Amino acid sequence: MEFLSGKHVSRRTMLRGLGATVALPFLDSMVPAGRLFAKSRGQVPTDPTRLVAIEMVHGAAGSNEWGASQNLWAPAKVGRDFDLTPSALQPLEPFQNYLTIISNSDIQNAEAFQPKEIGGDHYRSSATFLTQAHPKQTESSDVYVGTSLDQLYAQRFGQDTPIPSMQLCIENVDQAGGCAYGYACVYTDTISWASPTEPLPMVRDPRVAFDQLFGAGGTTEERAARRRTSRSILDWITGEVAQLKRTLGPADRERMERYLDNIREIERRIQKIEVHNTSGEVRELPEAPAGVPDSFEEHVKLMFDLQVLAFASDMTRVFSFKMGRDASARVYPESGLDEGFHPLSHHGGSESGVTDFYKINKYHVSMIPYFLEKLKNTMEGDTHLLDKTMIIYGSPMGDGNVHNHKRCPLFVAGGANGRLQGNLHVKAPPETPMANVMLSLMHMLGMDDIENFGDSTGALSLTV
């Protein structure tokens, strides 16, 4: 039994060394005795919900007319206790109680408004996903779309964390100037906009993301020097770790050990990738930085692990994660197909082509349970991070074969601090803007005073 005292460890305690800054996970000793007693009586409010917004490009097979009839994205049953077996969401079955599917919503603002915009769907789509706004057609720096949902949230609830938000991606998104059809590449490069004119860069290299989380206290030169030693970041803070552990109870010491082991394991994986990619062996992704794995699955899982660590240490509460780039021809052999992603999205409407594209959708969705499991296994106080997180996953395109933005795929996972019911499929009425769904999610995130978002016509109920 541990006795409560008025002494506690600050939630913002940092362990510092050469080019290293390591925040702590949530510990029991971070709760003062009075607050711990109040919490046990339900008098302490929950902390802000963690938010992750994930975009996958090119739409879904279930957005095609035949694919929709076969329930290749959303299940046939609306409401609760639906069967995910025929859908691309089947890998999420173990987490059905944390799953809210919203089908049949549209993103009208991703469509062409003028004849000169026709054909530019790939170069508008990503910019509309979290802004639900219509991008200004320009190849210059006078870009304009809208402030994205993740940034509206970060501006309100992320300012008391060391990093208000982080933006991650899997594919190359550092192109400059114009892309095609009169659109600046930045519209395709990011899904996060701090304002209608301020796109935020996305980090592709896990090493860069790792250093943002654990090297923020040092200079670029210090971090480079530390990496040249091949020592772990934790080797530079051993003294501070030992000193802190002496003040902690058994449960907190065990929690600290697990957290530091996770940091060391992720660092080891990044180092192993860098060694392999600089060995002179032929790479599948020759243009990628040394810290980027050639394997899609390895890359995605590493980025998810970094997000879990960031949430556990409260370094940030907001992530946007772009898992693909429009018009990407990347091949995913683990899906059982050897054809490129973009070509497969142009399935011609044939049943066999739509079925093949469905396999790609299902493979992409199969990455998500890994993340959900990690969140569920990370305790914070008397619950786990999955209960405290909202994960939005979707695409701003519907049927990739015809580049439309109807019946766009979308689901939300996690508990969102009790705001998401889970085990629910909501089928929106025809021509419902996805902005209505985003508005509802914003209200669940505590932004109740926002009455309009993008082309919303009102919040869509996500309860039964």
Q: Is the model more confident about 192 or about 239?
A: 192
pLDDT of residue 396 exceeding 90, the answer is yes
Sequence-distant contacts of 265-268: CB under 8 A, at least 24 apart: 266/210, 266/302, 266/305, 266/306, 266/309, 267/210, 267/232, 267/233, 267/234, 268/232
Grade residue 42 by pLDDT with cuts at 50, 70 and 90: very low
Task: Give residue-wise pLDDT tens across range 332-386.
Answer: 999 999 999 999 999 999 999 999 999 999 999 999 999 999 999 999 988 999 9
**pTM for this predicted structure:** 0.94
Q: Is the model more confident about 109 or about 222?
A: 109
Q: Tokens representing 256?
A: 């600290």
**Hey, where are the domains in the chain?**
1-45+207-291, 50-204+316-464
pLDDT of residue 404 exceeding 90, the answer is yes
Per-residue pLDDT at 16: 84
pLDDT of residue 178 exceeding 80, the answer is no
pLDDT of residue 4 exceeding 70, the answer is no
pLDDT of residue 6 exceeding 50, the answer is no
pLDDT of residue 177 exceeding 80, the answer is no
Residue-averaged pLDDT of the chain: 91
Per-residue pLDDT at 232: 82
Task: Give residue-wise pLDDT tens across range 411-460.
Answer: 999 999 999 999 999 999 999 999 999 999 999 999 999 999 999 999 99
pLDDT of residue 44 exceeding 50, the answer is no
Q: Is the model more confident about 428 or about 227?
A: 428
Mean pLDDT of 118-136: 97
Grade residue 172 by pLDDT with cuts at 50, 70 and 90: confident
Per-residue pLDDT at 165: 98
Per-residue pLDDT at 227: 59
Task: Give residue-wise pLDDT tens across range 279-306.
Answer: 999 999 999 999 999 999 999 999 999 9
pLDDT of residue 318 exceeding 80, the answer is yes
Contact indicator for 321, 312 with CB cutoff of 8 Å: no
Give me the DSSP letters along 18-72.
TTEEEEPPP-GGGS-HHHHHHHHTT-SPPPPPEEEEEE-SSB-GGGSHHHHHTTS
Q: Tell me how many degrees the CA angle 457-417-389 measures, rounded to the nearest 5.
A: 85
Per-residue pLDDT at 69: 97
pLDDT of residue 30 exceeding 50, the answer is yes
Q: Which of 46-60, 175-189, 190-204, 249-263 has the weakest average pLDDT?
A: 175-189
Q: Whole-angstrom Cα distance, residue 33 to residue 54?
A: 38
Per-residue pLDDT at 175: 66
Per-residue pLDDT at 357: 98
CATH number of 50-204+316-464: 3.40.720
Task: Give residue-wise pLDDT tens across range 145-156.
Answer: 999 999 999 999
pLDDT of residue 2 exceeding 50, the answer is no
Per-residue pLDDT at 179: 84
Task: Give residue-wise pLDDT tens across range 103-121.
Answer: 999 999 999 999 999 999 9
| Ramachandran bin of 451, using left for φ above 0, alpha for ψ from -120 to 50, beta for the remaining angles | alpha
pLDDT of residue 64 exceeding 60, the answer is yes
Per-residue pLDDT at 233: 82
* SS3 assignment for the chain: CCCCCCCCCCCCCEEEECCEEEECCCCHHHCCHHHHHHHHCCCCCCCCCEEEEEECCCECHHHCHHHHHCCCCCCCCCECCCCCCCCCCHHHHHHHHHEEEEEEEECHHHCCCCHHHCCCHHHHHHHHHCCCCCCCCCCCCCCCCCCCHHHHHHHHHCCCCCCCCEEEECCCCCCCCEEECCEECHHHHCCCEEECCEECCCECCHHHHHHHHHCCCCCHHHHHHHHHCCCCHHHHHHHHHHHHHCCCCHHHHHHHHHHHHHHHHHHHHHHHHHHHHCCCCCCCCCCCCCCCCCCHHHHHHHHHHHHHHHHHHCCCCEEEEECCCCCCCCCCHHHCCCCCHHHHHCCCCCHHHHHHHHHHHHHHHCCHHHHHHHHHCCEECCEEHHHHEEEEEECCCCECCCCCCCCECEEEECCHHHCCCCCEEEEEEEEEEHHHHHHHHHHHCCCCCCCCCCCCCCCCCCCC
